[in-house]
Structure 1
Amino acid sequence: MLTINGDQEEFWGKSEMGTRWLTFEDQLDHLFAPVLDLVFDRATLAEGMRVIDIGCGTGASALRAAQQVGPKGHVLGIDISEQFLERARMRADEAKLDNLDFTYADAQIAELSSGGFDAMISRFGVMFFTDPVAAFANMARALKPGGQITFAAWGGLSENPWFKIPHVAAVKRLGQPPKVDRNAPGPLAFHDRDRVSNLMAQAGLNDIRVEAVPLALTAPASVEDAALLCTRVGPAARVIAHFKGTQEDVDAVVRDVAEEFDAFQTSKGVQVPAVINLLQARVSS
């Protein structure tokens, strides 16, 4: 596969960190279910539509889109991780869905079907490109005139305790890893709403809307389970890996996170407040 985002291909497709997302697939799908609901509420997919899912991961969003557009529609899931796509294909087979395909590709440069799709969606799959303007422009070429994109990205670190609390706990225990550009490819790369809106405009998109949407993530049943998940994937996991943290370090971080997460206990379980940046735009008619 031709790619210019090789670091992301390595991380999601070949590293231990990427493999962990497969291990915790069910918990992560559960956690991010409110985000997926937001994407589908705003995307307003209809029966018969042709849809592209960017950064489809293990298939939760693509399968839901395929069910929504029905047998007369079609969904193409694209991801840079072959191991994720293998799992997505398995899930599609289990669901007996034959109106979707999955492609191993770098969406920034992939030759997508020109003007053949009605809509494009993504749940946390668009924050990792080295050149977001080029990526937006390339993806837009796959849409029909007037076609709409609906992408979910994380808001800022301070707006998202699911990121901030584990990160602070890990840094307190192990130290501060080398700082990186806050706009560099990564989960929080699209935190700046004005910047993202400008990137989309540079890519030639129209009717651009970037909205901060507050919602609650549905964490695992207990604060301890939620805290443990934080140390396996996400910012705390990266700090622990950077400093080669011991099991004793992991346990200490989990305890600190669980203590902080206790504030999010509700009658419905652990509900972690979040701010999601909802990106929408259209291709010129």
Structure 2
Amino acid sequence: MTDTGPASGPDSGPDTGPNADQAAYWQSRAGQKWVTHQATLDRLFENVLAATLARAAPQPGEKVLDIGCGTGASTRALAEAIGPEGHVTGIDISAPLIDLARARVTGPQASFLRADAQTQSFAPEHDLLFSRFGVMFFDDPVAAFANLRRAAKPGARLAMICWGPMPDNPWFRLPFKAAVERLGRPSPLPEFAPGPTAFKDIDRVTGILRDAGWSAAEGEEVEIPLLPPQVLHEAAEFACLIGPAARTLQEKDGTEDDRSAIIEATAALLSQYRRDTDLTIPARLILYSARA
């Protein structure tokens, strides 16, 4: 593809900034899983992306910043919505994810930038700032959203979707339950440490947005079905590959026998969500919005 606009310059070197730990993580084997399993992840979050796009309402001709764009599914959908007169820049801290996004999404209205959204210098030219699960990993979220505020035109919209608490999300909770029963609990993490559920508290996140200079900050809990692999064992195996069960297996030096037992237990737990020939997993998520 041909990169245009602000994404056409060199990478911004996020590996030594305030989110260097996240940069290292997303360059590691853990991040590589998102490249290897791109198609499965795109399908898993298909309904999530659709709901976020409906809330964001991208318009033809708009300029959009796709924060934490990953392997490009959201960037491609945004490019289709804004049409040939618009432009979307996908930004992500992970080189492997950005490389795949560049390969997948073609056309002059989309470009990509490997950079840290917390520190990258942006021109105030965007009509919409968008994120599907891409904003929960900042070392300093107030600083990050203040920086993103500088990317927005006056009156620009912010629309993003984040995970709710783990106990409300069986996709995380059930594999973790199986892993803990087999191996014991891993070491606890700080409640709001950068990670998937860091933005689970609506009052906290809307406060972060206000402190960062955004107005009309709101959060709404929504329930959206995830679309995992339809073979139950494959769904369980995938659920144990990315998330708290995988962390538990790694920290506890789990064996292949442990992994197999955890997958079998997870399959049994997930079976409650099979309806006829369909398997969907309910997810409790939070849609956030704000204005510049």
Pair 1:237–1:4, CA change in 2 (3 A): same
Cross-structure match for 2:113: 103
Q: Which moved more, 1:1-10 or 1:33-42?
A: 1-10
Cross-structure match for 1:76: 89
| Correspondence 1:166-177 to 2 at 5 A | 166-177=175-186
Q: Distance in 2 between matches of 1:187 and 1:152?
A: 11
Deviations 1:232-273 (A, max 9, x none): 111111111111211101110001110010000024611101
Letter in 1 for 2:125: G
| Residue 10 in structure 1 maps to residue 54 in structure 2 | no
Q: Distance in 1 between matches of 2:272 and 2:249?
A: 24
Out of 274, 284, 290, the position equivalent to 1:281 is: 290
Cross-structure match for 2:71: 58
Q: Which runs of 5+ in 2 are unaligned?
A: 1-12
Is the Cα–Cα contact under 8 Å of residues 148 and 281 in structure 1 kept in the other structure? yes
C-alpha displacement of 1:26: 0.7
Q: Distance in 2 between matches of 1:117 and 1:71?
A: 16
CA RMSD of aligned residues (A): 0.9
Out of 11, 18, 23, the position equivalent to 2:36 is: 23
Out of 159, 173, 181, the position equivalent to 1:150 is: 159
Query: Identity of paired residues, percent?
Result: 41
| Correspondence 1:126-137 to 2 at 5 A | 126-137=135-146
Deviations 1:175-199 (A, max 9, x none): 1111111111000101111111111
Q: Distance in 2 between matches of 1:9 and 1:124?
A: 16
Out of 256, 259, 267, the position equivalent to 2:265 is: 256
Letter in 2 for 1:16: R
| Correspondence 1:93-242 to 2 at 5 A | 93=106, 97-113=107-123, 115-242=124-251
Q: Distance in 2 between matches of 1:141 and 1:268?
A: 48
Figure out how many residues of one structure are paired with residues of the other and give that number: 278
Deviations 1:48-82 (A, max 9, x none): 00000000000000011011101100000000001
Q: Distance in 2 between matches of 1:144 and 1:235?
A: 38
Letter in 1 for 2:55: R
Which SS does the other structure have where 1:119 is aligned? strand
Cross-structure match for 1:44: 57
Q: Distance in 2 between matches of 1:205 and 1:106?
A: 20
> How high is the TM-score relative to the length of structure 2?
0.93
Q: Which runs of 5+ in 1 are unaligned?
A: none
Is the Cα–Cα contact under 8 Å of residues 219 and 269 in structure 1 kept in the other structure? no
